[in-house]
């Protein structure tokens, strides 16, 4: 008899709905509202690369030693340099970094003797084309520009 009444009054359904509504309290909601709210990134996270410049004179810190390219197991960094005839110093002429092949191991960053190459905490690396994943010197120096969404 009880079983029949439970079936008639959809007892199981009501019980299920009660569980659902009981957990509708906003304090139990843990969905990240990305991209409106940016997630907290771990301190040691290695993300988008950046080629640092000297803030005093705006010149690159890179001395074109090629050590990062040699350290990279994926051979995805290409460093170009030319000798300055006046100063007799080797100067960086181009720098490319293929983010699509990078595994963010950080070996290049560790190999850099002047802290010019840095893996930042930015994680938005998506692009619409494969070519867009290859960052040139300008992109590396300006750093990633993540979109900011205002709600």
Three-class SS state of 8: helix
Local structure of residue 60 (DSSP, 8 states): B
| 77/139 with CB nearer ligand SF4 | 77
- Size of the residue set binding ligand SF4 (CB under 6 A): 25
Q: Does 82 bind ligand SF4 (CB under 6 A)?
A: no
CB of 17 to ligand SF4, least distance (A): 50
Strand (E) or helix (H) holding 100: none
72 vs 139, which CB is nearer to ligand SF4?
72
Nearest C-alpha neighbor of 63 from the set 77, 82, 48, 41: 82
Question: What is the Cα–Cα distance from 48 to 108, expressed in whole angstroms?
Answer: 13
Q: Let me know if 14 is exposed, middle or buried by CB neighbors in 10 A (0-12, 13-18, 19+).
A: exposed
From 108, 135, 137, 140, residue interacting with ligand SF4 (rule: CB under 6 A): 108
- Asked if 51 contacts 58 with a C-beta cutoff of 8 angstroms, the reply is no
We find the least distance from the C-beta atom of residue 47 to ligand SF4, in angstroms, to be 10
28: which DSSP letter? Answer: G
134 near ligand SF4 (CB under 6 A): no
**Of positions 76, 135, 140, 144, contacts ligand SF4 by CB under 6 A:** 76
For ligand SF4, which stretch binds (CB under 6 A), given 6-14, 30-38, 97-105, 140-148? 97-105
Q: Is 116 in the site for ligand SF4 (CB under 6 A)?
A: yes
* Tally of CB atoms within 10 A around 92: 19
The verdict on 65 binding ligand SF4 (CB under 6 A) reads yes
The contact set with ligand SF4 (CB under 6 A) reads 62-68, 71-72, 74, 76-77, 79, 102-108, 111-112, 114, 116-117
């Amino acid at each position: 008899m009880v079983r029949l009444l439970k079936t008639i009054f959809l007892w199981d359904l009501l019980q299920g709905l009660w569980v659902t509504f009981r957990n509708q309290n906003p304090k139990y909601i843990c969905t990240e509202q990305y991209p409106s709210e940016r997630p907290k990134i771990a301190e040691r996270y290695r993300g988008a690369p950046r080629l640092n410049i000297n803030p005093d004179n705006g010149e690159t810190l890179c001395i074109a030693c090629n050590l990062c390219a040699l350290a990279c197991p994926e051979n995805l960094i290409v460093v170009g340099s030319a000798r300055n005839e006046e100063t007799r110093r080797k100067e960086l002429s181009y720098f490319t970094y293929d983010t699509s092949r990078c595994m963010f191991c950080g070996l290049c960053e560790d190999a850099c003797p002047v802290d010019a190459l840095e893996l930042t905490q930015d994680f938005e690396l998506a692009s619409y084309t494969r070519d867009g994943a290859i960052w040139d010197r300008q992109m590396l120096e300006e750093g990633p520009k993540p979109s900011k969404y205002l709600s």
